[in-house]
Chains A and B, each alone.
Chain A
Amino acid sequence: MSHKARTRLSRYVITCLGLYSLAGGAFAGVLPEDRADVLYFRYDGGGVTINGPSMLVRKSIGEHVSVAANYYIDMVSSASIDVQTSASPYDDERTQSSLSMDFLHGKSTYSIGYVNSDESDYTAKTMFASVSHDMFGDLTTISFAFKSGQNEVFRNVKIDDVKQNDPAFNDGLGHADMESKSYSVSVSQIVTKNMVLSGQYEVITDEGWLNSPYRSVRFFIGTDAQGSQPEKYPNTRSSNAASIRAKYFLPWRAAVDGMYRFYTDTWGVIGHTAELGYVHPLDTKFAGGDWIFEGRLRYYTQTAADFYADIFPRADFSNFMARDKELATYNAITAGVGATYEFKIERFPWLSKGQINLRYDYMTISYDDFRDATYSLGKFGVLPDEPLAPGTEPLYELKANIFQFYISAFF
């Protein structure tokens, strides 16, 4: 049976894909511009390859309404560290479609949207609504947003070499439910004619089936042997996240920005995220168009969940037990560069501008308490020649290359 822990998390998150692009502009009194984007992406790291296209179209209808649609496909080929120690590599595909509408009324923008995500063992339906309002001479924009998600979890098995949902999953129900809600408030503030500040606070609550249907924890048997059992998570999780970001226009027409986010949840995870970015357009045209270059650096660190352990002292050690490396203690650094070529085509006056974009990010994650268990358990059931004792394996490190190529057209 394939182990799809990471994909499951992806699904939670991917359900949100499109919310940024569908969420309208940062300032309430102006509708976002009409545009169409086509993206091809590739993520390659930790034994997992994900690639696919994403398409986004945004179009105004009259002066007060803007609609946006996004279609996204995730093609996953996984032999992650979890899969290597407990299952067979697998391929899967997920599709997501979303639709949203913004309605501008005076200095307020009202937005609603719906996101549908389908995968062989996970479906998610999310609706969201928000309102933004400009005030104080349009220097300040305050926004409130609400999201609600209904998710259904399945477990895939192979019967007669055919992949299908396991009818025995969740005590014979065959499926499990998870419900999620999010409440957020954000404020954007023009501070000077060169600087804008933005702050956001978001509470997210989950209830239902939250752990992976596939992943196991491991535990000691005596001092030099190990066993495994399914993960056990709480049925609820509530999180608080607060972020602040600033962007500053430099004297030589370039922009620098920074972001910090603090995160805490009822599982005991405390996270800090910091990001720095720099955007630099060229002064002169090159190859018939304008060029914009971008560099970005992101640092992330977190503490482990209360019920996380790389290896537990014994079976059934506690009520809740997890070995998800995203619930471990670790830090991550991501560095990215991007280039945009911007052009106009005289023959197409309806096209205000076009863009060709390339972006590359390199991510490295160092885990403090998640060990590479292939040194003791082997890979795909094949034991290493000289297995190490459980709990003495080297700490795991993940390195990933992330490529994006996308074309944008503005109307």
Chain B
Amino acid sequence: MRIRGLFVLTALACTATGCSSIEPWVKPYDRENLADPIMSFSRAPISQDFLDHVFESREGSRGATGGGGGGCGCN
């Protein structure tokens, strides 16, 4: 039932928005703040890698740590 509901909702959303031509609601010229380096999820990848290593060594959890689809695939 839940999956069917999801399909109906998606269909309604597509009908309302015209799935093939979704207009970006944040225009490219409005993305100045998003392009600021301080908005990067990892300003310093070399440092983030090291900290991720520390956390994964000390924590039982692993994976889904970001990095452009990254995470740890080795344990």
Contacts and interface: CB of A to CB of B under 8 A. Distances in A.
Interface in B7-59: 22-26, 28, 30-34, 36, 38-59
30 contacts: A9-B56, A9-B75, A16-B52, A19-B71, A19-B72, A20-B48, A20-B52, A20-B66, A21-B46, A26-B41, A130-B68, A136-B24, A137-B28, A138-B24, A149-B74, A184-B63, A192-B26, A196-B39, A198-B66, A237-B75, A249-B36, A249-B38, A261-B64, A279-B38, A302-B59, A305-B60, A326-B57, A334-B55, A357-B44, A363-B54
A239 B63 contact: yes
Interface in A17-74: 17-21, 23-26, 37, 39, 41, 43, 54, 56, 70
A35 to B, nearest CB: 9
B38 A39 contact: no
A241 B56 contact: no
A365 B72 CA distance: 22
Nearest to A182: B73
Given A200-B65, A273-B59, 4 more contacts: A41-B50, A138-B24, A186-B69, A249-B38
B47 to A, nearest CB: 6
A400 B57 CA distance: 12
Nearest to A359: B47
Contacts of B5: none
A90 interface: no
Contacts, number: 251
A254 B50 contact: no
> SS class of chain A's interface: helix, strand, loop or mixed?
strand
A263 B28 CA distance: 36
A152 to B, nearest CB: 13
Contacts of B62: 13, 204, 239, 241, 263
Interface in A115-140: 115, 124, 126, 128, 130, 132, 136-139
A257 B74 CA distance: 27
Interface of A: 6, 9-10, 12-21, 23-26, 37, 39, 41, 43, 54, 56, 70, 111, 115, 124, 126, 128, 130, 132, 136-139, 143-149, 151, 180-182, 184-186, 190, 192-194, 196, 198, 200-204, 206, 237, 239-243, 245, 247, 249, 253-255, 257, 259, 261, 263, 269, 271, 273, 279, 281, 292, 298, 300, 302, 305, 326-327, 332, 334, 340, 357, 359, 361, 363, 365, 398, 400, 402, 404, 406, 408
Given A249-B34, A406-B44, A201 B60 contact: no
Nearest to A68: B45
B72 to A, nearest CB: 4
Interface residues of B, number: 50
A12 B74 contact: yes
A138 B22 CA distance: 11
Contacts of A138: 24, 28
A148 B23 CA distance: 38
Contact of B47 (A24, A132, A406): A406
A396 to B, nearest CB: 13
B61 A132 contact: no
A23 B60 contact: no
A391 B50 CA distance: 35
Interface centre among A21, A39, A151, A241 (most CB of B within 10 A): A21
B44 A300 contact: no
Contact of A327 (B26, B33, B60, B66): B60
A93 B25 CA distance: 52
A259 B48 CA distance: 14
Contact of A332 (B38, B56, B59, B63): B59
A253 B47 contact: no
Instruction: Give the top 7 A-B pairs by smallest Cβ distance, nearest first.
Output: A137-B24, A147-B73, A182-B73, A21-B45, A143-B69, A12-B75, A271-B61
Contacts of B50: 17, 39, 41, 54, 404
B52 to A, nearest CB: 6
